[in-house]
């Protein structure tokens, strides 16, 4: 595993790379508030079968730069990060692998660039959630504006040690702590007051405008390369919303896989996830 830095239009994107120089390429995209180290279990296995795997920290995550001061963090803007990263990597053909939010962004990029994406692998996500609910625009916008008006980027909570920060994250991301530790360490910054999360605090603010369910399903049904959908069973919180079955139908994945585990099954069930991906990308 090596570190990588890519210069994008907004700033620097940091990441990790496995299997550098291997002929086949995979760009791995993490979930909301996670970072590139979430692929530390899965990526080496993919490198061992001939893939160069680059996992990036999206803007405001991990060690990548944050968006400019005073700017809002729209989730769809992460698609711009993907476009810049692929350009900087100079990859003509690649497989996109995304978990959770990363899967949604991978799909959005793929349907607009089907000629350059060989295969799409989505783990635990079928598009942006929650979608816009008719009749909620005024209330949602007011809440978003109120949050923006009162938000601060100053850190108020600090952890005395990495271990305590790890234990705190384990409460919301339950798994073997050895699998979670790399992601937690990458997500922390040490200061004279202790450790705080590097993550851009603006990422927690309510979105001012949401995609409608119609728009999400339109994107899901768009022309795309061979697509694999991997989900945890029993169904996790990430996929418990009313339109999930409709979205699955619209996506019409070429390969659908259920694996026992939690939302971060690519970390604590990496071997099973790898076997499913290996079958899909080598068939």
Which pLDDT score is estimated for 156?
Answer: 86
Residue 16's Cα: distance from chain center in Å?
A: 14
Ranges 11-25, 125-139, 158-172: which has the least confidence: 125-139
Q: What's the number of CA atoms in the CB half-sphere (13 Å) around residue 71?
A: 12
Q: What's the number of CA atoms in the CB half-sphere (13 Å) around residue 201?
A: 14
Could you tell me the two tokens for 130?
A: 């929650």
Q: N- to C-terminal Cα distance for the chain?
A: 27
> Is position 165 within any domain?
no
Could you tell me the two tokens for 35?
A: 């970072």
Domain count along the chain: 1
Q: What is the mean pLDDT of residues 236-255?
A: 96
Which pLDDT score is estimated for 12?
Answer: 97
Q: What is the mean pLDDT of residues 256-269?
A: 97
> Is position 191 within any domain?
no
| Residues linked to residue 259 through DSSP beta bridges, in sequence order | 232
Q: What is the mean pLDDT of residues 47-52?
A: 98
> Is position 99 within any domain?
yes
* CATH code where residue 14 lies: 3.40.50.1820
> Is position 198 within any domain?
no
Ranges 42-56, 201-215, 223-237, 259-273: which has the least confidence: 201-215
Contact 96, 104 (CB under 8 A): no
Q: Measure the CA–CA gap between 98 and 73, rounded to whole angstroms.
A: 19
Q: What is the mean pLDDT of residues 254-258?
A: 98
Say if residue 70's pLDDT is above 90.
no
> Is position 31 within any domain?
yes
Identify the band that residue 283 occupies on the pLDDT scale cut at 50, 70 and 90: confident
> Is position 183 within any domain?
no
Q: Mark whether 136 is an active-site residue.
A: no
**pTM score of the predicted model:** 0.96
Which pLDDT score is estimated for 55?
Answer: 98
Domain that holds residue 80: 2-128+211-282
> Is position 237 within any domain?
yes
Alpha helices, DSSP H, located in 62-116: 78-89, 101-112
Identify the band that residue 77 occupies on the pLDDT scale cut at 50, 70 and 90: very high
Q: Measure the CA–CA gap between 75 and 103, rounded to whole angstroms.
A: 12
Q: What is the mean pLDDT of the chain?
A: 95
The CA-based dihedral angle spanning residues 61, 62, 63, 68, taken in that order and rounded to the nearest 10 degrees: 10
> Is position 153 within any domain?
no
* Per-residue model confidence as pLDDT tens digits over 199-234: 999 999 999 888 999 999 999 999 999 999 999 999
- Active site residue: 38, 64, 100, 131, which one? 100
């Amino acid at each position: 595993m090596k570190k990588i830095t890519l210069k994008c239009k907004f700033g620097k994107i940091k990441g990790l790379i496995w299997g550098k120089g291997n002929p086949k390429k995979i760009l791995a995209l993490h979930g909301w508030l996670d970072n590139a180290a979430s692929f530390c279990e899965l990526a080496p296995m993919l490198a061992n079968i001939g893939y160069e795997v680059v996992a990036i920290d999206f803007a405001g995550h991990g060690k990548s730069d944050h968006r400019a001061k005073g700017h809002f963090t729209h989730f769809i803007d992460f698609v711009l990060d993907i476009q810049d990263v692929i350009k900087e990597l100079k990859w003509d053909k690649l497989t996109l692998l995304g978990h959770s939010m990363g899967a949604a962004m991978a799909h959005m990029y793929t349907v607009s660039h089907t000629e350059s994406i060989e295969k799409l692998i989505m783990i635990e996500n079928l598009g942006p959630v929650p979608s816009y609910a008719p009749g909620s625009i005024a209330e949602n916008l007011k809440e978003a504006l109120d949050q923006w008006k009162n938000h601060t980027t100053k850190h108020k909570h600090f952890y005395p040690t990495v271990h305590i920060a790890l234990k705190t994250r384990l409460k919301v991301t339950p798994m073997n702590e050895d699998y979670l530790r790399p992601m937690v360490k990458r997500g922390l910054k040490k200061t004279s007051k202790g450790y705080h999360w590097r993550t851009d605090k603006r990422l927690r603010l309510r979105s001012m405008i949401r995609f409608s369910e119609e728009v999400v399903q339109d994107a899901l049904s768009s022309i795309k390369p061979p697509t694999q959908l991997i989900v945890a069973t029993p169904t996790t919180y990430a996929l418990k919303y009313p339109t999930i079955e409709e979205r699955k139908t619209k996506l019409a994945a070429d390969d659908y896989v259920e694996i026992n585990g939690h939302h971060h099954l690519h970390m604590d069930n990496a071997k099973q996830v790898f076997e499913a991906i290996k079958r899909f990308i080598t068939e």
